[in-house]
Structure 1
């Protein structure tokens, strides 16, 4: 292996969630996004179900996503009497701050042999692979689960069936100069219990 443990440690510790308002407006090279997706495909997966499904929006496609999610939110929230104009505007505008937006879908195992939680976990590992790849290239990412993520009516727009899950959106963009935040974590000692006897 040509990758040192030190390089892996640094990559993991440098990974950050960088929100779209911190993007510069530059377009991320398509080859980098393709590499992110290829690396996502190498996530661990029980019984090789490979449940992750991605829909990538870029160029004019970002406006399609913005219009779809804003209007679906408006329809769904108005029916419940809790429409928020600021949230609507954010859903309309946030995709347009990005170079790419990757909708994160998960196919459920039709044979029901694999527990759904394990398919969610596998898809989350795929997203982490994309995050780490983006970090290696100096690309910003943010996994958001707001807006239309958990609305059943949204699934078909992303090529998902009724039994599948929409798990959110990975926003991708070039960070503005000096906008790579420092990390914050509590001590691992507070989160681990060792059993030695």
Structure 2
């Protein structure tokens, strides 16, 4: 049991976010992606609503997603704020990923569970994915900027009116993955009541 705890702790503490621009384009086996998704499916959630939904983009699907987001950026950005270099990055950086998992939350019809709790459950499932990826030596990055919260993306993904996109999980291999990070001591963040 001690060895298992040590292994889990090592995966948790060594996991890092590596930006997609550092990915090398090597493809992850789909069997590993399914394992990552299966572990996501075991996240805690209130009322067993299991609100996580994932849209997987790979191969030519990556091009479709990259073109969509770059074109939407161009459409939504006033001319004086439009940056051609950002447009190009949106069209190309995503293509360095092996797979992009678009993270979605499906709102339960009865709305018995608060929306924030559903979002938290999805976040737990993403943590399961990033830890599983790290255990396989796969780099990951959860991004939620750009077009993430637009109605246009919801429509592109076929989401329902009360559903939400919570970002992209980029997955890939890197010849130069991020390995360093830091955390302030946990004692600075805890109040203990006895």
Shorter-chain TM-score range: over 0.9
Alpha-carbon distance in 2 for matches of 1:141, 1:5: 23
Question: Which residue number in structure 1 is paired with residue 91 of structure 2?
Answer: 92
Bigger Cα displacement from structure 2, 111-120 vs 180-189: 180-189
Matched, 1:49 2:57: no
How much does 1:45 deviate?
A: 1.0
Question: Which residue number in structure 2 is paired with residue 7 of structure 1?
Answer: 7
Alignment of 1:94-113 (within 5 A): 94-113=93-112
Bigger Cα displacement from structure 2, 95-104 vs 150-159: 150-159
Alpha-carbon distance in 1 for matches of 2:87, 2:124: 30
Q: Secondary structure at the match of 1:110?
A: coil
Q: Secondary structure at the match of 1:4?
A: helix
How much does 1:159 deviate?
A: 2.3
How much does 1:3 deviate?
A: 6.3
Change (3 A) 1:75 1:141: same
Bigger Cα displacement from structure 2, 150-159 vs 2-11: 2-11
Question: Which residue number in structure 2 is paired with residue 121 of structure 1?
Answer: 120
Change (3 A) 1:60 1:6: same
Alignment of 1:117-156 (within 5 A): 117-156=116-155
How much does 1:2 deviate?
A: 9.4
Alignment TM-score, normalising by the size of structure 1: 0.93
Q: How many residues align?
A: 194
Question: Which residue number in structure 1 is paired with residue 179 of structure 2?
Answer: 181
CA RMSD of aligned residues (A): 1.6
Alpha-carbon distance in 1 for matches of 2:153, 2:177: 32
Question: Which residue number in structure 1 is paired with residue 188 of structure 2?
Answer: 190
How much does 1:110 deviate?
A: 1.4
Question: Which residue number in structure 1 is paired with residue 29 of structure 2?
Answer: 29
Alpha-carbon distance in 2 for matches of 1:62, 1:171: 11
Alignment TM-score, normalising by the size of structure 2: 0.95
Alpha-carbon distance in 2 for matches of 1:110, 1:162: 11
Alpha-carbon distance in 1 for matches of 2:72, 2:59: 21
Q: Secondary structure at the match of 2:77?
A: helix
- Preserved contact between residue 57 and residue 99 of structure 2 (Cα < 8 Å): yes
Alpha-carbon distance in 1 for matches of 2:3, 2:134: 15
How much does 1:152 deviate?
A: 1.3
How much does 1:84 deviate?
A: 2.5
Q: Secondary structure at the match of 1:175?
A: coil
Q: Secondary structure at the match of 1:101?
A: strand
Q: Mind listing any 5+ residue stretches in structure 1 that lack a counterpart?
A: none
